[in-house]
Amino acid sequence: MAETPGLPARRAALHMLDAVLRRGETLEQAEGAALRGVRAAPDRALAVAIASEALRWLVDFDALIDGATQRRLPDDAKPRAVLRLMLAQWLRLGTPPHAVIATALPLLGGGPRRLAHGVFSTLAKQGAALPKVPTLPEAARARWGEAAARIAAGLADPPPLDLALRDPGDATPLAVQLGGESLAPGHVRLPRGTPVEQLPGFADGGWWVQDLAASLPARLLGEGQGRHVLDLCAAPGGKTLQLAAAGWQVTALDVSKRRLDLLKDNLKRTGLKAGVVRADALTWEPRHRFDAILLDAPCTATGTARRHPDVLHRIGPRQIAEMAELQTALLARAAEWLKPGGVLVYATCSLEREEGEEQLGKVGLDLLPITAEELPAGLSPAPEGWVRTDPGMLPEAGGLDGFFIARLRA
């Protein structure tokens, strides 16, 4: 008997959801095994989109499900998981209810299938709707405090596509050509869904994909003028490319061979140069000190929830504490490798204070304040001189990732 068309994509989405919520995997980690039996690129993309939207709006989908059941389904019950996917398809991806039912119910059998069918049909007949802004998990709301409502508003939709340009002078003509906008020198923002490989300039390395917030740390080091900079935890290479394009002699260090291979591919495509070192920053010893160091440290990545909504549900106190400990150790190492008067930019794509503000008191370097003139319009440094962005900022332009950035001097 032939399998229902579209069922493999829904089965893959269910496996991804389970891997994130039950095993604590990242969505990216879960994709490999889940998508093994899904060959067509559109079906693979659909599976990821269904799982992503289920995670982005999970709290609100659960509220709808609970409102349509007499007895609350356990959080890990398979009918709840399938219903989350069904609601994501209907309310977020615009799939007609009859098509949702046809492609999702085969994931269940017997009583659970009848239950899911009944709950979904009830919600469809009622014309169920989502709020304008996704509801954050309670733990995330508590951690992010006053900023939580703004952050939630920034998570309602996946982000647009940001390009960082090898030649900043190309920004305006490329933005005009592609119907985008430039929010900073050397930056172009395009609508979501643009096929990257088909864009002008990709093949000849004129640009690379990099969120606007992710481009700020390297910008704050300015022009290199042939000076030496260390890009710690460099892969997959966006900041290395920025620094090389700005005239720095770059040493790019990372421990991951797979990610360094991506960095090398990006260097080859763009024609930019950097020395690439595979090593553990906690044990590596440089041959000389550096004029500048960029430490975009490993972190919980909660600031990337727009594109990776799994972080809303995977990250808690244990993960934050583990990452903060690693960041403290990396900062201490990096501080030893600066020349006198050298500059270190510390950054994390995290919304957690433990990975940002609280790190600064643990390193014996002076804060070199960031000014508003160094930032894109609409962003301002904190009074103390560091920068914190979050997904709710620049809403009229499409938002940006959450980052903490501080500039320090030896």
Determine whether the annotation assigns residue 233 to a binding site: yes
State the CB neighbour count (10 A cutoff) for residue 326: 17
Determine whether the annotation assigns residue 235 to a binding site: yes
CA separation, residue 290 to residues 54, 249, 368 (Å)? 45, 10, 17
CB 263 within 8 A of CB 238: no
Determine whether the annotation assigns residue 170 to a binding site: no
What are the catalytic residues?
349
Determine whether the annotation assigns residue 234 to a binding site: yes
| HSE, side-chain direction, 13 A CA sphere, residue 54 | 27
Starting at the edge strand that comes first in sequence, how are the strands of the sheet with 161-165 ordered?
Answer: 187-190, 161-165, 207-209
State the CB neighbour count (10 A cutoff) for residue 205: 16
Determine whether the annotation assigns residue 125 to a binding site: no
Tokens of 249: 């002699």
Q: How far apart are CA 401 and CA 74, in angstroms?
A: 33
Determine whether the annotation assigns residue 254 to a binding site: yes
Determine whether the annotation assigns residue 222 to a binding site: no
- From the list 169, 173, 174, the residue with the least C-alpha distance to 186 is 169
Q: How far apart are CA 214 and CA 317, in angstroms?
A: 24
CA separation, residue 205 to residues 12, 269, 272, 304, 355 (Å)? 34, 5, 9, 25, 33
Q: How far apart are CA 67 and CA 114, in angstroms?
A: 17
Determine whether the annotation assigns residue 78 to a binding site: no
Determine whether the annotation assigns residue 362 to a binding site: no
Contacts of residue 258, defined as CB under 8 A and 6 or more positions apart, other chains included, come to: none
Determine whether the annotation assigns residue 361 to a binding site: no
321-325, long-range: CB within 8 Å, 24+ apart, which pairs?
321/354, 323/297, 323/298, 323/299, 323/350, 323/354, 323/355, 324/352, 324/354, 324/355, 324/358, 324/359
In the annotated binding site for S-adenosyl-L-methionine, the residues are 233-239, 254, 280, 296
Give the annotated binding-site residues.
Answer: 233-239, 254, 280, 296
